[in-house]
Structure 1
Amino acid sequence: MEHLKQKNPAPTNGPGGGPGNGIFDEVNEAVEAAWLAQKHLIALGLEKRERIIEAMRQAGMANVEMLARMEVEETGMGRYEDKVLKHHLAILRTPGVEDIRPEVFSGDHGLTLVERLPFGVAGCITPSTAPSETVFHNTICMIAAGNSAVISPHPAAKNVTLKAVEILNLAVQSAGGPVNLVVCLREATLQKASEIMKHPKINLLLATGGPGVVEAVLSSGKKAIGAGPGNPPALVDETADLPKAARDIVAGAGFENDIQCIGEKEVLVVEQVADRLIAEMAKSGAYLLKDEKEVDRLTKLVTTPEGQVNKDYIGKDAQVILHAMGIPAPDHIRVIIYEVPANHITVREEFLMPLLPIVRVKDVDEGIELAVCIEGGCRHTATMHSKNVDNMTRFARAIQTTIFVKNGPSYNGVGLGGEGYGTMTIAGPTGEGLTSPRSFTRVQRCTLVEGFNLRS
């Protein structure tokens, strides 16, 4: 795989030009190049797509450590070791062309073939929380589906996004694929993102990020898929295996310093077992704030005077936050836990930080009702720790999230340590769920009527 490692970037390509790195200065040039590349791709056939995707996977794996370090250094968020795992998930567990195999129906009245066809050129707006992982996931999905991709990077993660696009272009070309199958804008601005959304040759839009960008693509008038924010509650009832629940919740919220939208953002625990759960969490890498004064200091630190999330602490290690509070913390601490009422701002709002507010509830019924309210209809993720199947079923039906994890950390729900394929794009607002290549296709049904029956 040595030949797939990133070399010095080639000069910026123009529309339909020779080998290049897929980086463009102008939106129209980028879209035109991707449009031409997509026409070449669909003429190559599925077997060629498979070879291209395999080359992309090999190139990605050869550069995982470098991309993970770049992300941490550029964004200042998350943890290197967790980003390595996320890259492995995106590169190896994203489905390929097997996800779009056709269906066939035959019977007395003939034969019907159902195929999944590409949209054409997709505009992909990527986040700062998983920039290069999302590029790999989205690009593998798009190419498997027969689309090309125009990437609009997050301004806070522009350099690592560009590097991922360069690596992917080299890989596509090494497998005999067309140049510019994935392209990216050199500068990340709202104006260029808007131009991508409005361009007449962009047939599909995909946004992974906050509510603003998701709302923008959904109001574009085009086919759009939105992967928005969440506020995932973790509910613990009196039947739970408390040591395991504590370990799992700390692991889920501590992963990437909880910048992932799937991560546990608050804990609702039945009063009967609350003290025991808190004690077990403290044994499992959580730092317990000792009184209301410390909780108030934390609240003032992580919020602005206007009551908004203080972005200075998004994705930072728990030790950084505790240090800013004047509290020394050992290296093994992954999250900060504290008890608050259900109306506390860090319960009601999504804080992408290693914070776990704990709310006591009198019983599981109150916990379910409160969790549904706190999740806020995002339809994103929820977790529950229980040995009572009826309780878990009732919670799942009530909260109706895209991902519901029972007795495990939240990241099990996206294929990391759990079964099923991996994803970096969870389309709760538009209902596609965990995206895969079929999410980015349209269905064509072709029917041959009667006169064709091999059994007659």
Structure 2
Amino acid sequence: MTDFNLLDPELVAIGEARTKVQLARQAFEAFQGVTQEQADRIVEAMGQAAEAAAAELARLAVDETGYGVYEHKFLKNLFNAKYCAHAMKKMRTLGVLWTDEVARVTAIGAPMGVIAAIIPVTNPTSTTIFKCLAAVKSGNAIVCAPHPRAAKCCVRTVEIMAEAAERAGAPIGLLQCLSTGQLPATRELMAHRDTALVMATGGAAMVRAAYSSGKPTLAVGAGNVPVYIHRSVADVSEAALMVVTSKSFDNGTACVAEQSVVLDEPIADAAIKSFEQHGTVFLDIEQQRRLASLLFIGRGALNPEAVGQTAIELARGIGMNVPPGTKVLGAALDDVGPQTPLSAEILGPVLSFYRSRDLAAAHQRCREVLAFGGEGHTLGLHGQDARWLPACQICRHRALSSTRRACSAGWASALAPIPRSCWARAPGAARSCRTTSRRCTSSISSASLTRTAPGATSIYRRWGCRCSCEPRLTLV
């Protein structure tokens, strides 16, 4: 007689996914008709509960995953629980959003249903907090699917927020989390007939699986982020400090953290000295080879045991002694691609460095880095020369930051940008700024920046840019 294992872990996990999606669907139906004010009260209660538990959840995340820094994960939890919740409070997401009396158009916000939220191992609790807040704010139910290595901390995060939501009036089952994070259960969750939307954060394989689920998907994948330090930078030392701070934050586990530093030749030597002063130790060729062997396994896959470790721990792993204050390991490279492993995305405090003789060379190098695992992600800039600041001159179709800040900023879609041949078919607009009289053109996948006069404030918008004056809008 055949001995069937009725407690096969994969079958149990798949069954759990189905059960939780069905319960979430029932909760969503009970939640239908919720007003904006009711949803906001529930979101506020969830945010307060997550804020109170930010330290507990940070400790759970570090202890379970072995990745990152407790204090930094606490800050990320606190930011999402407090400041993201506060920012959401000002948004209308349900019912009438706006009305254009002239065009006789009214926008109405309606929920999708059950959201399948894929949670990464590198930022488990903070990502869970944000996605749960966003789901309930928009009137949806949510089922989180954690990475197996971060299941316990994610389950605890959802428990805390679900209890707060239910006390504030949400139906039971509106927020849930899979208990094991097994891949078959995650696939079942994404493909289930009652799942209406997938929000995926993770590696390239998981993002591809999400896009292949047959469901509408919002996803962010790997990012190989270049940052260009131009000769016009106001303070080379400050720029180096911001990059080091960004890359060492939570031991480099943020996908928007800089990965490659492209230095303008006239300031390259000064920049390298500044990086060394701020805790960067540069490796020789042999040390780079040993580090690459430690960080990568198989065909360029990151070694899970090397992710999210400190620079000192990584140095120790390759038999290298570094000063106690070392924050980042640096590698001077000449090439980008599979033949140069350290030019890939590394979820750890490791930076690659390139020299560029001029703007054209820097542009090309940034494009090469982005093409090697960072398409559609993020680019950072440091400089003051307004002749090269417009985004379209550096890298088309990507949001970027040229402000004084640590950590680059951008849309993380894991999708290749719209090709130039499609520009003519994309709606666009040309803006003429009363402050500078400069025009800026944007298309549906780009964020552009208009140079502003001293004292004017620039902000980024999906459809171009605005400064402190009111721009004139003319059709292209």
Conserved 8 A contact 2:297-2:303: yes
Query: What is the aligned partner in structure 1 of residue 238 from structure 2?
Result: 244
Q: 2:351 aligns with which of 348, 356, 359?
A: 356
The percent identity for this pair of structures is 27
Q: 1:401 aligns with which of 394, 398, 401?
A: 398
In the TM superposition, what are the counterparts of 1:24-423 in structure 2 within 5 Å? 26-94=16-84, 95-96=87-88, 98-100=90-92, 102-107=97-102, 111-240=104-233, 241-289=235-283, 291-304=284-297, 306-343=299-336, 345-376=340-371, 378-394=375-391, 397-410=394-407, 413=409
* Cα deviations by residue, 1:219-263 (Å, 9 ceiling, x for unpaired): 222211111111000111212120111101101111111111100
* Range that drifts further, 89-98 or 308-317: 89-98
Q: For structure 2, list consecutive stretches of 5 or more residues without a partner in the other structure.
A: 1-12, 418-443, 446-476
Distance 2:301 2:21 in 1: 37
Distance 2:172 2:393 in 1: 45
* Range that drifts further, 73-82 or 291-300: 291-300
SS at 2:348's partner residue? coil
Distance 1:227 1:306 in 2: 22
Distance 1:234 1:410 in 2: 9
User: Aligned-pair distance for 1:428?
Assistant: 4.7
Conserved 8 A contact 1:25-1:187: no
CA distance 1:427–1:116, shift in 2 (3 Å): farther
* Range that drifts further, 304-313 or 37-46: 304-313
CA distance 1:362–1:244, shift in 2 (3 Å): same
SS at 1:30's partner residue? helix
Conserved 8 A contact 1:57-1:92: yes
SS at 2:388's partner residue? helix
User: Aligned-pair distance for 1:214?
Assistant: 1.1
CA distance 1:427–1:296, shift in 2 (3 Å): closer
Distance 1:256 1:262 in 2: 12
Distance 1:349 1:142 in 2: 33
Q: Which amino acid aligns with 2:397?
A: Q
SS at 2:387's partner residue? helix
CA distance 1:333–1:348, shift in 2 (3 Å): closer
CA distance 1:281–1:187, shift in 2 (3 Å): same
Return structure 1 stretches of 4+ with deviation > 4 angstroms.
Answer: 394-397, 430-433
SS at 2:108's partner residue? strand
Conserved 8 A contact 2:300-2:341: no
Q: TM-score, normalised by structure 1?
A: 0.82
Distance 1:367 1:166 in 2: 48
CA distance 1:400–1:410, shift in 2 (3 Å): farther
User: Aligned-pair distance for 1:329?
Assistant: 2.8
Distance 1:42 1:313 in 2: 45
User: Aligned-pair distance for 1:353?
Assistant: 1.3
Q: Which amino acid aligns with 1:385?
A: H
User: Aligned-pair distance for 1:286?
Assistant: 1.4
User: Aligned-pair distance for 1:132?
Assistant: 1.1
SS at 1:262's partner residue? coil
Give the root-mean-square deviation of aligned CA atoms: 2.3
SS at 1:328's partner residue? coil
Conserved 8 A contact 2:202-2:221: yes
Distance 1:258 1:217 in 2: 25
Q: Which amino acid aligns with 1:304?
A: I
Distance 1:295 1:28 in 2: 47
SS at 1:123's partner residue? strand
SS at 2:49's partner residue? helix
Conserved 8 A contact 2:117-2:199: yes
Q: For structure 1, list consecutive stretches of 5 or more residues without a partner in the other structure.
A: 1-22, 415-424, 434-456
Distance 1:299 1:54 in 2: 45
Conserved 8 A contact 1:41-1:146: yes
Conserved 8 A contact 1:379-1:399: no
User: Aligned-pair distance for 1:408?
Assistant: 2.5
CA distance 1:173–1:143, shift in 2 (3 Å): same
Q: Which amino acid aligns with 1:104?
A: T
Conserved 8 A contact 2:199-2:218: yes
Distance 2:279 2:343 in 1: 24
